[in-house]
């Protein structure tokens, strides 16, 4: 069981015993757990951008996770979960900086905050691109979608897919190239339309 699962399970077990006494100690909702797990990587990258150390970022993410789970009742459903989580993450980053301040020379706080802000902008852009890709994949012809999904499965290759399909490798590579160009153009169109006022 991963550390994250232990934290969630541990929270569920301790919470269920106290739920009769304190409404704020009820177990996190299914929606909360879904949002919590969905945003873990994004929150980790934001924390990493502020700290610059993999180990410190992992430790700080765990601290932020504990706080989020203990304060899950304070999150308002329907609001921006990542903004709420990022604020908690930022406070944990500040605590980490305080603890480590004496350890070594650090960048100025303003520089780190600016880098974190830029990283958050890039994460937003990546989310938009991922959403556009999903929509564009859905608009492909079924056989094209199947080919591109098979090609990019872990361990797959164009040569392997060509053998499975009984087609020349060159033909499969040309098809994959055409599908990739179609997806790229579709993604560009969707991102351009989203950026219009």
Give the per-residue pLDDT at 20.
47
- Residue corresponding to tokens 């908690």: 88
Give the per-residue pLDDT at 123.
64
Give the per-residue pLDDT at 11.
42
134 and 83 share a domain? no
101 and 161 share a domain? no
Give the per-residue pLDDT at 70.
92
Evaluate the CA torsion angle 121, 123, 126, 127 in order and state its sign: negative
- Of 37, 21, 40, 18, the C-alpha closest to 29 is 37
C-alpha span between 157 and 45 (Å, rounded): 29
C-alpha span between 20 and 2 (Å, rounded): 29
27 and 102 share a domain? yes
20 and 88 share a domain? yes
89 and 112 share a domain? no
- Look up the domain containing 135 and give its range: 108-197
Give the per-residue pLDDT at 61.
93
114 and 177 share a domain? yes
Q: CB neighbours (10 Å) of residue 101? A: 9
Give the per-residue pLDDT at 161.
79
Which of 106, 141, 174 is the last residue before a domain boundary?
106
* HEC profile of the chain: CCHHHHHHHHHHHHHHHHCCCCHHHCCCCHHHHHHHHHCHHHHHHHHHHHHCCHHHHHHHHHHHHHHHHHCHHHCCCCCCHHHHHHHHHHHHHHHHHHHHCCCCCCCCHHHHHHHHHHHHHHHHHHHHHHHHHHHHHHHCCHHHHHHHHHHCCCCCCHHHHHHHHCCCHHHHHHHHHHHHHHHHHHHHHHHHHHHCC
Q: Which domain CATH number covers 35?
A: 1.10.1740
**Cβ-contact 63, 69 below 8 angstroms:** no
Q: What is the mean pLDDT of each run of 10 residues along the chain (197 residues)?
A: 42 42 71 92 88 86 93 90 92 85 55 63 70 86 86 75 83 88 88 67
Which of 57, 74, 106 is the last residue before a domain boundary?
106
Give the per-residue pLDDT at 85.
93
Q: Which two tokens stand for residue 153?
A: 């499965």
114 and 195 share a domain? yes
Residue 197, exposed/middle/buried by CB under 10 A (0-12, 13-18, 19+)?
Answer: exposed
98 and 3 share a domain? yes
Give the per-residue pLDDT at 1.
41
Give the per-residue pLDDT at 84.
93
Number of domains in the chain: 2
């Amino acid at each position: 069981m991963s550390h994250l699962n232990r934290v969630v399970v541990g929270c569920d077990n301790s919470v269920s015993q106290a739920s009769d006494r304190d409404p704020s100690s009820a177990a996190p909702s299914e929606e909360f757990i879904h949002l919590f797990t969905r945003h873990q990587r994004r929150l980790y990258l934001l924390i990493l951008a502020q700290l610059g150390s993999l180990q410190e970022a992992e430790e700080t993410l765990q601290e932020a996770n504990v706080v989020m789970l203990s304060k899950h009742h304070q999150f308002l459903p329907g609001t921006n979960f990542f903004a709420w989580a990022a604020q908690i993450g930022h406070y944990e980053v500040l605590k980490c900086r305080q603890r480590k301040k004496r350890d070594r020379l650090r960048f100025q706080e303003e520089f780190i905050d600016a880098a974190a802000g830029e990283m958050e902008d890039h994460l937003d852009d990546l989310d938009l691109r991922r959403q556009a890709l999903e929509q564009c994949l859905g608009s492909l012809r079924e056989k094209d979608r199947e080919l591109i999904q098979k090609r990019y499965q872990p361990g797959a290759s164009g040569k392997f897919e060509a053998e499975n399909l009984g087609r020349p490798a060159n033909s499969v590579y040309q098809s994959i190239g055409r599908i990739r160009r179609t997806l790229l153009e579709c993604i560009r169109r969707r991102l351009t339309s989203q950026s219009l006022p």
